[in-house]
């Protein structure tokens, strides 16, 4: 594991050097010593690296915090030492091969900004060592314990950061095999997530054959139980195995519970997780396919998950519906006006629903219906193009009434200048909607999803936007005075001219560049918790 700044002793490390001789009875030494005062072993690795603190130990080795004495400033680094707890020479060779594999993989992929850089790799008579970049930050496991659970919007943001990295690794023919909250660090310097601990990696989808014909190395390092899917535990990992682990990680972020704390179906092996989280049916469909116990029904590549999230909720659910047709049932054949995917186009499906309802109402035309809610019922929430309620003309009354009936998805709507002030709309989904000059004064919008929405000159004064998601949204010249944006996600949001005077931005995810574009004053609470202007 990499070192993390939250270690309570990290800031107060005494000047010292640790002896790495496993038989040494007194490994603590003064940092001025060249050799151990107890056993006489050299204290510097390659006359360069000094070990100053133990970080962790596993079945095959130990991890230490060290210093590179040959670089200016003697910067910190992470030192991994091979120390397998086995006596069998063949097992020792396999363990060393595991470390070589990690070094080879990190050397190939370590130029990615979300993967620790491999700094050195060498053997000595005393052992085998990897020297890696030291990443200052906290793991997601620690983050959840300290700051609380993730909302659906925050988990989507998490996936938007991790899925491209997963795609990169898989394109390099690398399966990580140990994705979990403890192996994901949020780097302090920029807030980006970094995937660590490639000790269990399977590279180039190749195998080292043991006497049993199985992958010998995987019998020692198959990831973490509960986070590893069945095929990985059976020593047959595939790219989809990482997707399953990522899905389990999402569950932890939203529940704070490890997989062993969740119930499961003893027949199918599927986790019974749906009742443990409060998420939209759209996101549940995507997450369910990530968590499928059978590889056959799981997403195969990270690109498929990204596509599903972009087209929520209907593209993949339709594909699933076609693949689950009863035996002997033929899929719908494409015809004029239909998509080439074998199922009706969004326009056809909406028109068919309207025609069916007209027949049920004795031929009454939609525009003759007295109640606009009846028009909503016609268009329903099954439009895969909008991902929401269709393009019916919605007003504030429509939204409030529909929300009260339990529907939260109002994505991809044209709702410019709508007035929803002082309304109670927690968890509402306005993803991709047009909300220019809309009014949300003093509105309860906790955990709302405004991803990619256009909120140009919108009035969000005194709105509760705690944990709301504004990824890639346009908030230019929006009024956010005294709004509660604590723990909100504003990644890549346009804040040009936005009024953040008196707003609470504690824990919000945004950059100093974004803040510089907005208006702030002494009463603005910055992401780090302090008051005042940033510049």
Residues classed as catalytic:
178
Q: Which residues contact residue 282 at a Cβ distance below 8 angstroms, ignoring those fewer than 6 apart? A: 312, 313, 387, 409
Please tell me the distance from the alpha carbon of residue 53 to that of residue 48, in angstroms, as a whole number. 16
SS3 143: helix
CA angle 477, 481, 487 (to 5 degrees): 95
Contact 253, 140 (CB under 8 A): yes
Peptide bond into 313 cis (omega under 30): yes
Nearest Cα to 443, choosing from 419, 427, 422, 426? 422
SS3 201: coil
Nearest Cα to 309, choosing from 336, 282, 331? 282
**What token pair was written down for 349?**
């499906």
**Residue 451 exposure: Cα atoms within 13 Å on the Cβ side:** 22
Task: Please list, residue by residue across 355-376, b when 16 or more beta carbons sit within 10 angstroms of its beta carbon and e when fewer do.
Answer: eebeeeeeeeeeeeeeebeebb
Nearest Cα to 412, choosing from 464, 346, 353, 478? 346
Q: How far is CA 344 from CA 34, 124, 356, 357, in A?
A: 75, 65, 15, 18
Please tell me the distance from the alpha carbon of residue 391 to that of residue 383, in angstroms, as a whole number. 9
């Amino acid at each position: 594991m990499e070192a993390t700044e939250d270690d309570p002793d990290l800031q107060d490390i005494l000047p010292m050097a640790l002896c790495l001789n496993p038989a040494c009875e007194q490994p603590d030494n003064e940092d001025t010593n060249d050799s151990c005062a107890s056993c006489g072993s050299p204290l510097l690795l390659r006359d360069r690296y000094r070990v100053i603190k133990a970080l962790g130990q596993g079945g095959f080795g130990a991890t230490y915090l060290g210093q590179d004495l040959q670089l200016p400033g003697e910067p910190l680094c992470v030192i991994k030492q091979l120390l397998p707890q086995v006596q069998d020479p063949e097992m020792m060779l396999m363990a060393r091969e595991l470390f070589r594999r990690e070094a080879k993989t990190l050397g190939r992929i370590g130029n990615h900004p979300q993967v620790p850089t491999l700094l050195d790799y060498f053997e000595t008579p005393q052992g085998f060592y990897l020297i890696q970049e030291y990443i200052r930050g906290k793991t997601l496991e620690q983050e959840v314990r300290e700051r609380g659970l993730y909302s659906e919007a925050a988990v989507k943001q998490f996936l938007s950061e991790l899925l491209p990295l997963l795609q990169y690794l898989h394109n390099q023919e690398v399966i990580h095999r140990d994705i979990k909250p403890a192996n994901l660090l949020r780097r302090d310097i920029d807030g980006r997530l970094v995937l660590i601990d490639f000790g269990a990696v399977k590279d180039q989808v190749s195998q080292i054959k043991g006497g049993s014909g199985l992958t010998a190395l995987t019998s020692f390092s198959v990831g973490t139980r509960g986070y590893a899917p069945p095929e990985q535990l059976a020593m047959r990992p595939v790219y989809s195995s990482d997707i399953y682990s990522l899905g389990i990680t999402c569950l932890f972020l939203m529940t704070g519970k490890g997989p062993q704390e969740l119930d499961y179906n003893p027949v199918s092996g599927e986790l019974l997780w749906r009742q443990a989280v409060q998420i939209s049916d759209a996101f549940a469909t995507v997450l369910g396919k990530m968590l499928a116990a059978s590889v056959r029904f799981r997403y195969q590549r990270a690109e498929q998950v990204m596509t599903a999230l972009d087209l929520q909720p209907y593209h993949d659910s339709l594909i699933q519906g076609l693949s689950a047709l009863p035996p002997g049932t033929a899929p719908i054949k494409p015809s004029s006006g239909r998509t080439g995917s074998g199922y009706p186009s969004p326009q056809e499906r909406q028109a068919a629903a309207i025609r069916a309802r007209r027949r049920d109402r004795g031929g009454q035309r939609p525009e003759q219906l007295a109640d606009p809610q009846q028009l909503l019922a016609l268009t329903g929430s099954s439009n895969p193009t909008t991902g929401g309620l269709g393009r019916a003309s919605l007003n504030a009354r429509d939204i409030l009434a529909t929300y009260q009936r339990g529907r939260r998805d109002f994505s991809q709507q044209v709702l410019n200048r709508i007035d929803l002030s002082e309304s109670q709309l927690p968890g509402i989904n306005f993803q991709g909607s047009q909300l220019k000059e809309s009014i949300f004064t003093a509105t309860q919008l906790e955990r709302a999803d405004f991803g990619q929405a256009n909120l140009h000159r919108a009035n969000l004064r005194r709105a509760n936007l705690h944990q709301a998601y504004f990824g890639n949204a346009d908030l230019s010249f929006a009024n956010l005075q005294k709004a509660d944006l604590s723990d909100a996600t504003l990644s890549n949001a346009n804040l040009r001219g936005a009024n953040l005077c008196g707003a609470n931005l504690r824990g919000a995810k945004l950059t100093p560049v974004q803040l510089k574009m907005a208006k702030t004053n002494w009463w603005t609470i910055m992401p780090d918790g302090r008051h005042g202007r940033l510049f």
